Amino acid sequence: MNKRPWIVDDELWELIEPLLPSWPERAPGPQPVSDRLCLQGILYVLYQDISWQLLPLELGFGSGQTCWRRLGRWHEAGVFDRLHRILLARLHAAGELDWSRACVDASHIRAKMGEGTGPSPVDRRKTGSKHHLICDGRGTPFKVITTAANVNDVTQTLALVDGVPPIAGRPGRPRRRPETLLADKGYDSNPNRRELRRRKILPVISRKGAPNIEGLGKLRYVVEQTFALLHQFKRLAVRWERRLELHDALISVACGLICWRRLNNRKPCSCYEL
């Protein structure tokens, strides 16, 4: 295991660097910290869950304020969402995405006050947020939405499905629709079922007051695995960012890193790799 996972290797940097907005040639003030070092500072906070103000200056990443501002600037430019989409396309090209089904679920986290927070029904009504996730049949994250902790899961079903980006990588039009959607009873809604069928997605959702669909849990376990991977990034297990867009930026970074690991750890067995 890499003891310094925040270090950006050359291959990953080659993907990220062209996506970053350029600095003005004659920007006022001192020479800014390099983008690569700033990115490593962001990853250090993401992995270690330290305050931005406590980012060690001796590591050369610049101050926490520098990395914090750079994170917001890059998120506004869509850098991390574009990186996530590029990596999804590479996984799709390698036949590593399972479009036969997608899974949705939600997970509560503690949070400070700010946009997208509310009383948590599972944590004695303490302030919290909720991560809503959709992933493919192998647990690769497609989209994460952050809401207040008291937002009902079922309200985000269609937003998650429609939030799956168009994923290229193979001949033909980019793909964004799975064949089926798997969910527990918290997503039971006849209007949502109708909307999913209109999108040519078969809903496989247990109904309230009825026995669970047999074997559904064995297929849906991947979404719990993906949440575990997401929350291994310690900065995401508890939400410290008051600004929702900065928390979402860190989530987008984490989703890209999960895809990057899967791309590097895949077994070379698909004909689409040629």
Identify whether 161 is part of a domain.
Answer: yes
Phi–psi pair at 58, nearest 5 degrees: -70, -15
Quick one: 55 and 161 in the same domain? no
Q: Per-residue pLDDT averaged across 81-86, rounded? A: 96
Quick one: 40 and 143 in the same domain? no
Whole-angstrom distance, CA of residue 17 vs CA of residue 35: 8
- Please measure the distance between the N-terminal and C-terminal CA atoms of the chain and give it in whole angstroms: 29
Q: Which two tokens stand for residue 91?
A: 């996984």
Identify whether 113 is part of a domain.
Answer: yes
Quick one: 111 and 65 in the same domain? no
Res. 270 pLDDT band, cuts 50 70 90: very low
Res. 122 pLDDT band, cuts 50 70 90: confident
Quick one: 199 and 112 in the same domain? yes
Identify whether 44 is part of a domain.
Answer: yes
Q: Per-residue pLDDT averaged across 153-167, rounded? A: 96
Res. 32 pLDDT band, cuts 50 70 90: confident
Quick one: 115 and 44 in the same domain? no
Quick one: 113 and 236 in the same domain? yes
Bridge-based pairing of strands 127-136 and 118-119 is antiparallel
Identify whether 52 is part of a domain.
Answer: yes
Bridge-based pairing of strands 141-148 and 202-205 is unpaired
Identify whether 144 is part of a domain.
Answer: yes
Range of the domain at 162: 101-240
| pLDDT digits 0-9 by tens, 172-227 | 899 999 999 999 888 999 999 999 999 999 999 988 876 667 667 777 889 999 99
pTM of the predicted model, to two decimals?
Answer: 0.90
Residue 251: per-residue pLDDT: 97
Quick one: 168 and 57 in the same domain? no
Quick one: 233 and 111 in the same domain? yes
CATH of the domain at 110: 3.30.420.10
Whole-angstrom distance, CA of residue 82 vs CA of residue 88: 10
Identify whether 170 is part of a domain.
Answer: yes
Quick one: 184 and 150 in the same domain? yes
Quick one: 107 and 14 in the same domain? no
Identify whether 156 is part of a domain.
Answer: yes
Phi–psi pair at 136, nearest 5 degrees: -80, -175
Question: Comparing 217 with 8, which gets the higher pLDDT?
Answer: 8
Quick one: 114 and 69 in the same domain? no
For the chain, the domain total comes to 2
Identify whether 245 is part of a domain.
Answer: no
Quick one: 149 and 236 in the same domain? yes
DSSP the chain: --S-TTSPPHHHHHHHGGGSPPPPTT-SSSPPPPHHHHHHHHHHHHHH---GGG--GGGTS--HHHHHHHHHHHHHTTHHHHHHHHHHHHHHHTT---TT-EEEEEEEEEE-SSTT-EE-TTTTT-EEEEEEEEEETT--EEEEEEEETTS-GGGGHHHHHHHSPPB-SSSSSPB---SEEEE-GGG--HHHHHHHHHTT-EEEEPPTTSPPPTTHHHHHHHHHHHHHHHHTSHHHHEE--SSHHHHHHHHHHHHHHHHHHHHHH--S--GGG-
Res. 273 pLDDT band, cuts 50 70 90: very low
Handedness of CA 212, 217, 220, 225 (dihedral sign): positive
Taking phi over 0 as left and psi of -120 to 50 as alpha, with beta for the rest, 212 belongs to beta
Residue 89: per-residue pLDDT: 96
Please give the share of the chain, as a percent, with pLDDT higher than 90.
71
Q: Per-residue pLDDT averaged across 89-115, rounded? A: 93
Residue 25: per-residue pLDDT: 64
